[in-house]
Structure 1
Amino acid sequence: MQKPGRVVILNGAPRSGKSSLAHAFQASAPGRWVIWGVDAFNKTLPPSLLPGIGLRPGGERPDLEPEVEKLYGVYFAALLAYAETGFDVVADLGLHSSYSRPFDPYILMQQRLAGPRLVVVGVLCPIDVIMARRNADPQGGFYAAGQGVPAPVALWQEAVHAGKTYDLELDTSVLSPEAGAALIGSRLAAAEID
Structure 2
Amino acid sequence: MSGQIVVINGTSGAGKTTTCATLARHSPDPYLMFGMDLLAGTLLPARYTMFGAMKEQGYQPTAYGPVCMQALSAMHAMIAAASRTGQSVVVDHLMFVDPPVLQDAVWRMEGVPVLFVNLKPSWDVLEKRVTTREISFIPPPIQEAMAAAGPEIVQAFAEQLGAVTPWFYEHAYANEIYDLELDSSAMTPEQVCQRIEARLAEGPGTAFARLRERHPKPF
* TM-score computed with the length of structure 1 as normaliser: 0.83
Indicate how the Cα distance of structure 1 residues 44 and 56 shifts in structure 2: closer, same or farther if over 3 A, else same. Answer: same
Q: Which runs of 5+ in 1 are unaligned?
A: none
**Alpha-carbon distance in structure 1 between the residues aligned to 2:46 and 2:77:** 22
The change in CA–CA distance for 1:143 and 1:151 in structure 2 (over 3 A counts) is closer
Aligned mates of 2:205, 2:16 — CA distance in 1: 26
What residue is the counterpart of 2:13 in the other structure? Answer: 15
Q: 1:178 to 1:133 in 2, by over 3 A?
A: same
| Distance in 1 of aligned mates of 2:3 and 2:68 | 26
Higher percent of residues as helix: 2
The answer to whether 1:152 aligns with 2:152 is: no
Q: Secondary structure at the match of 1:78?
A: helix
SS in 1 for 2:95: coil
Give the 3 Å change call, closer, same or farther, for CA 105–193 of structure 1 in structure 2: closer
- 1:109 counterpart residue number: 105
**In 2: Cα distance, 1:11 partner to 1:110 partner:** 13
The corresponding residue for 2:27 is 29
State the match for 1:56 in structure 2: 61
The answer (yes or no) to whether the contact 2:7–2:93 under 8 Å persists in 1 is: yes
Secondary structure (helix, strand or coil) at the match of 1:36 reads: strand
Aligned residue pairs total: 180
Aligned to 2:203, what secondary structure does the other structure show? helix
CA contact (8 A) 1:8 1:119 kept: yes
Once the 2 structures are TM-superposed, how far is the Cα of residue 193 of structure 1 from its aligned partner?
9.7
Q: How much has 1:178 moved relative to structure 2?
A: 0.4
Paired with 2:60 and 2:95, the residues of 1 have a C-alpha distance of 10
Query: SS of 1:144's equivalent?
Result: helix
Match of 1:6 in 2: 4
RMSD (Å) for aligned C-alpha atoms: 2.4
SS state at 2:178 partner: coil
Query: Within 1, Cα distance between the matches of 2:59 and 2:193?
Result: 23
Tell me if structure 1 keeps the 8 A contact 2:10–2:119.
yes
- What corresponds to 1:66 in structure 2? 66
Q: Which amino acid aligns with 1:56?
A: P
Relative distance call for 1:49 and 1:133 in structure 2 (3 A) is same
* Candidates 176, 183, 186, aligned match of 2:195: 183
2:121 to 125, 137, 162: 125
More divergent stretch after superposition (173-182 vs 124-133):
124-133
Question: CA-to-partner distance for each residue in 1:45-80, whole Å, 9 max, x for gaps?
Answer: 1112214886423x4xxxx52222211111101111
Q: How far does residue 151 in structure 1 lie from its aligned partner after superposition?
A: 4.0
Question: Which SS does the other structure have where 1:119 is aligned?
Answer: strand
Q: Answer yes or no: is the 8 Å Cα contact 1:82–1:88 preserved in 2.
A: yes
Q: Cα 1:154–1:84, aligned 2, differ >3 Å: closer, same or farther?
A: same
CA contact (8 A) 1:116 1:191 kept: no
Q: 1:143 to 1:11 in 2, by over 3 A?
A: farther
Distance 2:5 2:133 in 1: 30
Deviates more, 1:72-81 or 1:132-141: 132-141
